[in-house]
Amino acid sequence: MDELTEKKNPIYSFSDYWPSIGIVGAIFSLITFVGGLFFGYQQINSEPTGSFLSPFMISSGVICLISSIAGLIAVWHFTKEVSPVLKLGQGAVIGFLTGAVIVVVSVLLSELWVLLVDPEYNEKMMESVIANFEAMDMPQSTKDDMIDAMAESMESQQSILRQIFIGIPITGLINLISALIGVAIFAEKEQKDF
């Protein structure tokens, strides 16, 4: 009888979640890091076209879409490896923490890249984006405002803590939502006894 009760209402320790969170978070942080580098170097090596749809602008949406399914994948992994029974709250925890792991690991990888491989990456990126803004067909005052805003944004992103404290809530909440969807799709439904 105890085994039946345990299957209906499983109790997990926090450490039961970490394999799914860590594995999926590490994989998706590598994907977002490599994707960011790909689009970043595409922007640096492209000619200024004056288009709003530059590789830099496209990359934010693409990387966000890719990383948004990590919570769903983490829940799938948990239901396959630990237990098929999962409640919404437990899925929400898995999704949010997966998003947090993605942010922390990808920020650390980006910082290592800039420190060890290409120290001028951020400067080259800013120059390329500014050159693209200057090629746009719009009034000079608007261009100047856009360039100032972009330069301010790029400078504020230099802080590791700022990237982490802004990234964790955003990526965490997006993955929380996708994890809730994952619970609805992958977790077994508890059967109610009357």
CB-based burial label for 65 (10 Å; 0-12, 13-18, 19+): exposed
| Average pLDDT for runs of 10 along the chain of length 194 | 50 83 96 93 84 79 92 96 90 96 95 93 85 80 80 71 91 96 89 61
Q: Is residue 178 part of a domain?
A: yes
Sequence-ordered list of residues with C-beta below 8 angstroms from that of 36, at least 6 positions apart, any chain? 59, 63, 106, 110
pLDDT of amino acid 106: 95
Alpha-carbon span 68 to 58, nearest angstrom: 16
Quote the tokens at residue 117.
């491989």
Q: 60 in a domain, yes or no?
A: yes
DSSP symbol at 68: T
- What pLDDT shows up at residue 5? 45
pLDDT of 126: 83
Residue 27 lies in a domain: yes
Domain annotation covers residue 137: yes
Find where tokens 């420190």 sit.
Answer: 115
In a domain, 93, yes or no: yes
Does the residue 33 lie in any domain?
A: yes
In a domain, 90, yes or no: yes
Asked whether residue 1 is domain-assigned, the answer is no
For 179, half-sphere exposure in the C-beta direction (CA atoms, 13 angstrom radius) is 32
Q: Check residue 10 and give its pLDDT.
A: 62
Domain span at residue 29 reads 17-186
In this predicted structure, what is the pLDDT of residue 158? 65
> How far apart (Å, rounded) are the C-alpha atoms in residues 70 and 11?
24
Kindly report the number of other CB atoms within 10 A of residue 105's CB atom.
19
* Per-residue pLDDT, 2: 47
Give CA–CA dist 83/134, Å, rounded: 55
Looking at the structure of the chain, the number of domains it has is 1
